[in-house]
Amino acid sequence: MKDTAEMYIPTLEDMLAAHERIKPHIHRTPVLTSSYFNDLTGAELFFKCENFQKAGAFKVRGASNAVFGLSEVDAAKGVCTHSSGNHALSLSYAAGRRGIPCNVVMPRTAPEAKKAAVRGYGGTITECEPSTSSREAVFAEVQAKTGGDFVHPYNDPRVIAGQGTCSRELLEQTDGLDAVIAPIGGGGMISGTCLTLSNLAPEVKIYAAEPEQADDAYRSFKAGHIIADDAPETVADGLKVPLKDLTWHFVSNHVTDIFTASEQEIIDAMKLTWQRMKIVMEPSCAVPLATILKNRDVFAGERVGVVITGGNVDLDKLPWMKS
């Protein structure tokens, strides 16, 4: 993305164009229901299963939109990003599909399994130290050397337009919803949800769910301006990053409320979902269910879409295992 003086806010047309562009490269993931969880919550829940998505997470939507939207000239130089998580996998996957280079700066301490997955999709990893200063320095170097297009994990209109395709499918797959709830970290999924629902179904309430131990979005939302956390620690490792200007725009304008859950509540909801729905999902995905269980009065009687954001977990280090 080129730097521009003014922030570009993606539109409904951007989201619709993104959907056409990425359809050949993504799954239209299924929506699952569970009578057990309906009984437990008093709500009617519709789980949008992005854990079954290509590369294992919704992030492939935004990454594919960025990659396949590049001109031939720009694409030849490839793409680059910094991420230790699903965005790294997703951008590598999308670049691999288009056959262009993808350079990812990852901390040397990132899990070997994630690094192997990036390489498996054809991405090139440059390692940095696990600090912001090292990451920024190494990334600047990689970008200067390759000239690749920087695809930010979430603060990028192309990425947000791509993530918005998820709730468009959810609307099509359900027969009317009262609310949608998704986890919030940097705010890419929530911003895409806001983009789509505020245009296509403005009556649907949008809730964000966040770990208590990384509640910068919650505090920002209550304060009315961005408050960034300093290195939060949570089992929901996809949700540690802060809001940025573009995602703050959507959150501050369209989100109805933000709820938080404790570490134990997240782990309990995660394990219960694995047990009852037989799906493998990341800790981050359990935060919405954990907050629904805590706020029954808000959700009871409502038809609620719940975004299961990804399924890339380390099966040797599940959070309920004794270490």
Edge-to-edge strand order for the sheet containing 102-107?
124-128, 102-107, 79-82, 149-150
Closest CA to 188 of 157, 218, 219, 214: 157
Three-state SS across 156-206?
CHHHHHHHHHHHHHHHHHCCCCCEEEEECCCCHHHHHHHHHHHHHCCCCEE
Are 317 and 299 contacting, i.e. CB atoms less than 8 angstroms apart?
Answer: no
- Is residue 112 close enough to count as binding a second copy by CB under 8 A? no
Enter the tokens of residue 26: 């993504």
For the window 250-279, what string marks contact with a second copy as x by the rule CB under 8 A?
Answer: ---------------------x--xx-xxx
| Smallest separation (angstroms) from a second copy to the CB of 255 | 28
Are 247 and 187 contacting, i.e. CB atoms less than 8 angstroms apart?
Answer: yes
- Is residue 157 close enough to count as binding a second copy by CB under 8 A? no
Within positions 293 to 312, which residues make up the interface with a second copy, using CB under 8 A?
A: 311
Handedness of CA 29, 165, 182, 80 (dihedral sign): positive
- Is residue 56 close enough to count as binding a second copy by CB under 8 A? yes
- Is residue 281 close enough to count as binding a second copy by CB under 8 A? yes
- Is residue 235 close enough to count as binding a second copy by CB under 8 A? no
| Smallest separation (angstroms) from a second copy to the CB of 307 | 15
- Is residue 186 close enough to count as binding a second copy by CB under 8 A? no
Are 123 and 103 contacting, i.e. CB atoms less than 8 angstroms apart?
Answer: yes
Which of 12, 137, 201, 280 touches a second copy (CB under 8 A)?
A: 280
| Smallest separation (angstroms) from a second copy to the CB of 27 | 10
Shorter beta-carbon distance to a second copy: residue 133 or 323: 323
The window from 146-154, 158-166, 209-217, 313-321 that contacts a second copy (CB under 8 A) reads: 313-321
| Smallest separation (angstroms) from a second copy to the CB of 96 | 13
| Smallest separation (angstroms) from a second copy to the CB of 79 | 22
Question: Which amino acid, one-letter code, is at 105?
Answer: V
- Is residue 24 close enough to count as binding a second copy by CB under 8 A? no
Shorter beta-carbon distance to a second copy: residue 32 or 293: 32
Are 83 and 106 contacting, i.e. CB atoms less than 8 angstroms apart?
Answer: yes
Shorter beta-carbon distance to a second copy: residue 31 or 246: 31
Size of the site for a second copy (CB under 8 A): 19
Closest CA to 255 of 309, 307, 179: 179
Beta bridge partners of 47: 32, 306
> How many C-beta atoms lie closer than 10 Å to residue 321's C-beta?
8
**Euclidean distance between CA atoms 105 and 82, whole angstroms:** 5
The radius of gyration of the chain from alpha carbons, rounded to an integer in Å, stands at 18
Are 251 and 189 contacting, i.e. CB atoms less than 8 angstroms apart?
Answer: no
Which of 73, 223, 231, 321 touches a second copy (CB under 8 A)?
A: 321
- Is residue 231 close enough to count as binding a second copy by CB under 8 A? no
Shorter beta-carbon distance to a second copy: residue 54 or 152: 54
Shorter beta-carbon distance to a second copy: residue 33 or 256: 33
DSSP category for residue 315: T
Contacts with a second copy, residue ranges (CB under 8 A): 30, 32, 51-52, 56, 271, 274-275, 277-281, 311, 315-316, 318, 320-321
